[in-house]
Structure 1
Amino acid sequence: MEKKVYSKEGKELRNIVLEDAVFARKVSEGSIWHAIKNELANARQGTAKSKNRHEVRGSSCKPWRQKGTGRARAGSRRSPLWRGGGVVFGPRPRDYSYHLPRKIKRLAMKSLLSLRAADDECFKVLEDFSVESGKTRDLVSILEHFPTGGGTVLILDEDDEMTKRAGRNIKNLRFLTFNRLRAHDLFYGKSILVLESAAKKLGEFYGS
């Protein structure tokens, strides 16, 4: 697959050949669904908790005698039937995370890259750059030449701390590196910008 490489000013520079096994393969919708579901499940805190009848505060004595009052039988003020009582089968702290097989995750990433690369409007390959100043305005001056409405994902070839610092205050901007992709960001991002060196490394990393 051939893609155009754009300069920081948004001008066409040259063409680059991308790995077909990564950027032009058949899309597996099932693996994408599993990858996104796995990421969302692993991100859940799982701290929701309600008190049962043994944990709520209140007297444990019998409210009234069993017979002769004309009222229904009651054994405790902490009963779930009473106001302020315990909760039946309420949420308890738990771990929602689970392991996704490596092959499914790799297939999902390749499918997502192929899905997004098929759209020339949202998928752009940029020449390598780094915002060494770490200033937001320097990064904004580059991104304004590309469509960024609704969320932008910038895929880097390495963990560039200064570029990430420059993008901290930019709304709906996500940074990914070629070997640590996130299915949720790739699927829902409106604009995918890939550095030229990162595009080559993606082909080597997922094509092998």
Structure 2
Amino acid sequence: MTSLEKKTDTKLTLDVKVAGGKTNGTVDLPAEIFDAPANIALLHQVVVAQLAAARQGTHSTKTRGEVRGGGKKPYRQKGTGRARQGSTRAPQFVGGGTVHGPQPRDYSQRTPKKMKAAALRGALSDRTRSERLHVITELVAGQTPSTKVAKSFLAEISDRKKVLLVVGREDVAAWKS
């Protein structure tokens, strides 16, 4: 098989879990998404780009030109014996401007769509290989939302504190739970 040929569509299977620790059938996962190689450097780059884009970037200091006042020369140029000064808002004065201080800027990095998709495929594949991906039928039984029931069900599935749930928009009971 050359590098240009596509791999055959092999399927991965996961058990569909229901409350009570039981399984309710299986679901087939496409191998091109859930069995892709994980590129750690690519995953790191995409995560850093997302965290950088979340930064506010509103830090700011005033330079000597932005500080209010200081237009008049504090004393004459020659004859006083002191160092020459042009403004009381120069950086060496109290109340003066800041030199090379932080200015507002945009920290976001442009990440290509294919890189984001490849990083997501790698992350999903890694979670599947380490058996940390679970498929459930419903988070809470029926249409009545219950955080207690949802929390106990998640505790049955995984003993980790942090869990990512992907829920459809139409499942209102799961959203409220």
Fold equivalence (TM over 0.5) = yes
RMSD, aligned α-carbons? 2.3
Instruction: Give the superposition deviation at 1:115.
Output: 1.0
Instruction: Give the superposition deviation at 1:91.
Output: 2.3
Tell me if 1:30 matches 2:35: no
Aligned to 2:27: 16
Tell me if 1:44 matches 2:45: no
Instruction: Give the superposition deviation at 1:159.
Output: 5.7
8 A Cα contact 1:6 1:125, kept in partner = yes
Instruction: Give the superposition deviation at 1:110.
Output: 0.3
Instruction: Give the superposition deviation at 1:63.
Output: 1.8
Give deviations 1:90-121, integer Å, cap 9, x for gaps: 2222222243211111111100001111112x
Task: Give the partner amino acid of 2:87.
Answer: S
> Pairwise mapping of residues 90-105 of structure 1 onto structure 2 (< 5 A)?
90-105=101-116
Taking a change above 3 Å as real, the CA distance of residues 17 and 139 of structure 1, as seen in their structure-2 partners, is same
Aligned to 1:54: 65
> Pairwise mapping of residues 77-116 of structure 1 onto structure 2 (< 5 A)?
77-116=88-127
Structure 2, unmatched stretches of 5+, are 1-11
Aligned to 1:144: 155
8 A Cα contact 1:130 1:160, kept in partner = no
Which whole-Å CA distance do the structure 1 matches of 2:78 and 2:41 have between them? 61
Q: Which has the larger radius of gyration?
A: 2
Task: Give the partner amino acid of 1:108.
Answer: A
Which whole-Å CA distance do the structure 2 matches of 1:23 and 1:114 have between them? 4
Identity %, equivalent residues: 35
- Say which SS state the counterpart of residue 50 (structure 2) adopts: helix
Instruction: Give the superposition deviation at 1:130.
Output: 5.1
Aligned to 1:123: 133
TM-score scaled by structure 1?
0.68
Instruction: Give the superposition deviation at 1:22.
Output: 1.0
Which whole-Å CA distance do the structure 2 matches of 1:37 and 1:101 have between them? 14
Tell me if 1:134 matches 2:136: no
Which whole-Å CA distance do the structure 2 matches of 1:165 and 1:148 have between them? 22
What is the aligned residue count?
165
TM-score scaled by structure 2?
0.79
Structure 1, unmatched stretches of 5+, are 167-208
